[in-house]
C-alpha cells in the first residue's frame, strides 16, 4: 500500500463491532503477549494539570502481524462542560516491514472502547464459570454497557444488575439494556448487587474501593477494568487476598496502575513473580479456574497489543471491502 | 477547527523551510523548555530487532501554545535495500484545550529534519564565536547538508569542509554545496577537517568517537547531533573534559543517549547538576561563551518541544494560507 488510508470514526463504527470476531482478535493478542518477540514498551504518559488534561501513548509490536499500532489517548476533563467527551484520540498503523505509515484511524477512542470491552469478554470466557447467568455491573458509563454486551457474547447471561454512584444513571442504563432475552435492573445497594452475580465487572474511574472483599462469595468472577492510573482503585485490596486466583492483563502494568498496585501499597501482596497473565491462561500455561467454587479476579489496565490487534482487525475489514468493491 | 487537517509531505515541503523563522521558532522552544509548566516526558522507544526496526515517540506540552505534537519516528534499517529511506513517520497535533486531534502531518520525517537542523543553528548562534567563518561537517547525509545550511543562516560562513567515512560521498556533497558565496570541499583527513574550522558539526550515526579531543583548538564550537541512542557516540569523551563549556539540549536526555552518556560511562564526568541547557543560555540564565578562546560543545539529542514547536509553526503557515484564500 503506497497511499495512506485515512478512516474516520463513522467509517470505523460502521465496519468494526463488538462481536465474537473482535473478542477472538483480542484473545489472540493476549496469547501473543506472552510469546517471545512481542515488544510492548511502558506507556508514555503526560500530565497537563493546568488544562486538566492527560495523554497516554501505547504501542506494541507483534511478529507476524503486517502492521503495528501506536495509539494516542488524550483525556481532557473539562471537556464535558464544553459539550465534548473527555476522551478522544486516534491510532496510527505502521508497516512491520518498513515502518512507513499505512493508516490513520481517526476513531476518537472508538476502537479503544471495543478492544477494552472485548478484553472483558476474554477474561470472563477464560475465568468465569461456564454456567454464569447473572452479571453485576458497577458503573453506568459507556464501558458499563459494553462490558455487559461482551459478557453476553461469551456466557449465557440472563439477568444483570447495574449499580452506580448516581442511581438515576443506573436506572436509565438498566432501562436501556433491559429486554431481548436479558433482564436488567438497577440495584441501589452495592453489596446486594455483588451478592446477586456470578460475574461482577467494575467499570468506574473510582479512587476509592467500591467492591468490598467480604461481599464476595465462592464461584464468582470479578473483572476490574476501570483503573488505568496509579491513583485509581476499584477493589478493596483484601479482594485479592480473598480470591483463589488473581490474573493480570500485564503484571508490569497492573503493578503500576491496576488493582495490584493498591494491594502492593497495602502490603497485602509482596511477591508478584508467580502472578499469571491472561495470556498464560489462554495458552494453557496456567490452568486458570480449577473448581466451580473458586473466586477469580481479572485486573485489566489496557495493553498496547490490544491496540495493535484491533487496528489490524479494522484494517483487514476495509481491505476486504476494497477487494469486493 | 472542527475538521481534522491532513497535510502531506509535499504540502509541508512547499510551505515549511529551513529559514530564520524556523530557527526562531526552535530558539523560542528551547527557551520555553526551562520554564515551569512545560511537560516533556521521556521518549517512548521500541526496538524490533527481528525486522531491524525501531520506533521513537516524542511529545511535549508548552503552556500558551494552541496545540501540542506527538511525533512518531520509525527507523527501519533494511529499507535502503528496498529503495526506501530508513526513517519516516508523522506528527499528530492535538488541541491544548480539548485534546481533540487538530491535524495529522504526514511529513515522513521532514519536519524533524527541519527542527533538528534548526537546533544546530540555535546552538551555533548562542555558543560559537560571532565571527565564525569556517565550518567542518562530519558526515555526508541529509543532516550534514542541512546543518551547514543552518550555520549559514546564523554565522558568516565562507568556507566549509566535509569529512565522511566514505570519501566519495563527502566529495559528492561538497560538490553539490559549493558555490553561491560558499566554498565547500571534501577533506579526507578528519583531524585536518577539525583543525580547519571555527564550528564543527558531527552528524553521523557512529558508535565510536570520530572527533578526538586533541584535535580541538581554542575558540572552536562543536555541535554533536548524531547521537540519539545510548549506544551511539561521536565525540571522544575527553572532548567534554577539554571543553570550557558543555551545553545539553536536555540534560535528562543527554545523560541517557547523548555524548554526555559516553563521558559519564567513561567516568570523566560524575556530577551533572550544574550542566546548563541550551534554553538557559538563550534566556540569559547562564552566560554561555564568555571569551573568544573558549571551546564550547552543544550536545543535541532532539526534544519533544522542538516537535511541538515546528508542528505549531507548520500549522500556522497553513492557517495563514486559509485566511488569504
Nearest Cα residue in chain A from B304: A46
- pLDDT for B275 equals 97
- Provide the pLDDT confidence category of residue B2 given band limits of 50, 70 and 90: very low
Tens of pLDDT, residue by residue over A55-64, are 999 999 999 8
pLDDT interval class at B120 (50, 70, 90): very high
B248 lies in some domain: yes
Domain containing residue B193: 129-303
Residue B50 belongs to a domain with what CATH number?
Answer: 3.30.1780.10
Tell whether A149 and A292 lie within a shared domain. yes
Using CA coordinates, name the residue in chain B closest to A47: B39
pLDDT of residue A181 exceeding 50? yes
Are A183 and A292 part of one and the same domain?
yes
A279 with A188, same domain: the answer is yes
Residues of chain B with pLDDT > 90, as a percent, come to 90
Nearest-Cα distance to chain A for B33, in Å, is: 15
The DSSP bridge pattern shows strands A53-59 and A44-48 to be antiparallel
Clarify whether residues A139 and A211 are in a common domain.
yes
pLDDT of residue B67: 95
The CATH code of the domain that includes B219 is: 3.40.50.720
Give me the mean pLDDT over the A102-110 stretch: 96
Q: What average pLDDT does chain B have?
A: 94
Which residues have C-beta within 8 Å of that of residue A192, sequence separation ≥ 6? none
Chain A residues near residue B99 by CB distance under 8 angstroms: 53, 55, 74-76, 79, 87-89
CB contact under 8 A, B59 and A63: no
What is the arithmetic mean of pLDDT over A14-21?
98
Query: Does position A322 have pLDDT exceeding 70, yes or no?
Result: no
DSSP secondary structure code for residue A287 in this structure: -
Beta-carbon separation of B48 and A61 below 8 A = yes
Cβ atoms of B40 and B302 within 8 Å: the answer is no
Q: Is residue B120 part of a domain?
A: no
Nearest to B44 among A41, A82, A99 (CB): A41
Does residue A171 surpass a pLDDT of 70?
yes
Kindly state whether residues A296 and A181 are assigned to the same domain: yes
Least CB–CB distance from A59: residue in B4, B55, B94: B55
Chain B residues inside the 8 Å CB shell of A74: 94, 99-100
Is the per-residue pLDDT at B89 higher than 60? yes
Query: Is the domain of A52 the same as that of A129?
Result: no
Q: Residues 6 or more apart from A325 whose CB is under 8 A from it?
A: none
- Average pLDDT rounded to a whole number, residues A302-317: 95
pLDDT over 90 (residue B1): no
Whether residues A288 and A276 fall in one domain: yes
Over 60: is that where the pLDDT of A2 sits?
no
Task: Inform me whether the pLDDT recorded for A250 exceeds 90.
Answer: yes
CB contact under 8 A, B41 and A42: no
- Per DSSP, the three-state class of B207 is coil
The DSSP element (H or E) to which A32 belongs, if any, is: helix A20-33
A interface with B, Cβ–Cβ below 8 Å: 4, 6, 37, 39, 41-42, 44-48, 50-51, 53, 55, 57, 59, 61, 63, 68, 70, 72, 74-76, 79, 82, 84, 87-90, 92, 94, 96-101, 104, 106
Same domain? B317 vs B298: no
Interchain pair B99, A46: CB under 8 A? no
Residue B75 lies in a domain: yes
- Does any domain span residue B13? yes
ipTM: 0.86
Listed in order, strand segments (DSSP E) in A49-157 are: 53-59, 67-76, 90-95, 101-106, 134-138
Question: Could you give the dihedral angle defined by the CA atoms of residues A281, A286, A289 and A295, in that order, rounded to the nearest 10 degrees?
Answer: -90
User: What does the pLDDT look like over B243-256, one tens digit per residue?
Assistant: 999 999 999 999 99
Tell me whether residue B124 is in a domain: no
3-state per-residue secondary structure call for A6-26:
EEEHHHHHHHCCCCHHHHHHH
Supply the DSSP string of A296-317, one letter for each residue. Answer: EEEE----HHHHHHHHHHHHHH
Among chain A residues, the shortest Cα distance to B83 is held by: A98
Tell me, yes or no, whether B71 and B145 share the same domain.
Answer: no
Distance from CA of B71 to the nearest CA of A (A): 11
Residues B296 and B312 in one domain: no
B61 and A48 Cβ atoms separated by less than 8 Å: yes
Look at B41 and A37 and tell me if their CB atoms are within 8 Å. Answer: no
As given in the structure block, the three cell numbers for residue A51 are: 488544562
What residues in A contact B100, CB-CB < 8 Å?
A: 74, 84, 88
Domain match, B172 and B289 both: yes
CB-based contacts of A39, cutoff 8 Å, min separation 6 = A60, A61, B46, B47, B48
In chain B, % of residues over pLDDT 70: 98
Number of domains in chain A: 2
pLDDT in the model for residue A323: 55
- Nearest C-alpha of chain B: how many angstroms from A176? 29
Task: Name the pLDDT band for B227 (thresholds 50, 70, 90).
Answer: confident
Split at pLDDT 50, 70, 90, the class of A229 is: confident
The pLDDT value given to residue B64: 87
A170 shares a domain with A96: no
Amino acid at each position: 500500500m503506497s497511499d495512506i488510508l485515512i478512516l474516520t470514526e463513522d467509517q470505523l463504527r460502521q465496519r468494526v463491532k463488538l462481536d465474537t470476531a473482535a473478542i477472538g482478535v483480542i484473545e489472540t493478542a493476549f496469547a501473543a503477549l506472552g510469546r517471545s518477540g512481542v515488544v510492548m514498551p511502558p506507556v508514555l504518559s503526560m500530565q497537563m494539570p493546568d488544562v486538566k488534561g492527560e495523554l497516554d501513548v501505547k504501542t506494541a509490536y507483534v511478529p507476524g502481524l503486517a502492521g503495528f499500532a501506536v495509539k494516542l489517548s488524550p483525556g481532557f476533563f473539562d471537556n464535558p462542560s464544553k459539550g465534548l467527551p473527555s476522551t478522544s484520540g486516534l491510532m496510527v498503523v505502521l508497516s512491520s516491514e518498513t515502518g512507513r505509515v499505512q493508516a490513520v484511524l481517526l476513531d476518537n477512542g472508538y476502537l479503544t472502547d471495543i478492544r477494552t470491552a472485548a478484553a472483558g469478554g476474554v477474561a470472563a470466557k477464560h475465568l468465569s464459570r461456564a454456567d454464569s447467568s447473572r452479571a453485576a455491573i458497577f458503573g453506568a458509563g459507556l464501558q458499563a454497557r459494553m462490558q455487559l454486551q461482551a459478557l453476553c457474547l461469551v456466557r449465557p447471561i440472563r439477568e444483570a444488575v447495574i449499580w452506580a454512584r448516581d442511581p438515576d444513571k443506573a436506572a436509565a442504563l438498566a432501562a436501556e439494556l433491559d429486554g431481548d432475552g436479558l433482564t436488567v435492573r438497577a440495584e441501589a445497594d452495592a453489596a446486594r448487587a455483588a451478592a446477586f452475580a456470578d460475574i461482577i465487572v467494575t467499570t468506574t474511574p473510582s479512587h476509592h474501593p467500591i467492591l468490598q472483599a467480604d461481599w464476595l462469595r465462592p464461584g464468582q468472577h470479578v473483572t476490574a477494568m476501570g483503573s488505568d492510573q496509579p491513583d485509581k482503585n476499584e477493589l478493596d485490596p483484601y479482594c485479592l487476598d480473598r480470591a483463589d486466583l488473581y490474573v493480570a492483563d500485564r503484571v508490569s502494568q497492573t503493578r503500576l496502575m491496576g488493582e495490584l498496585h493498591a494491594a502492593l501499597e497495602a502490603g497485602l501482596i509482596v511477591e508478584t513473580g508467580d502472578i499469571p497473565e491472561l495470556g498464560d491462561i489462554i495458552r494453557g500455561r496456567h490452568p486458570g479456574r480449577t473448581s466451580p467454587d473458586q473466586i477469580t479476579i481479572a485486573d485489566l489496565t489496557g495493553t498496547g497489543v490490544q491496540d495493535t490487534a484491533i487496528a489490524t482487525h479494522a484494517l483487514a475489514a476495509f481491505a476486504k471491502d476494497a477487494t469486493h468493491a
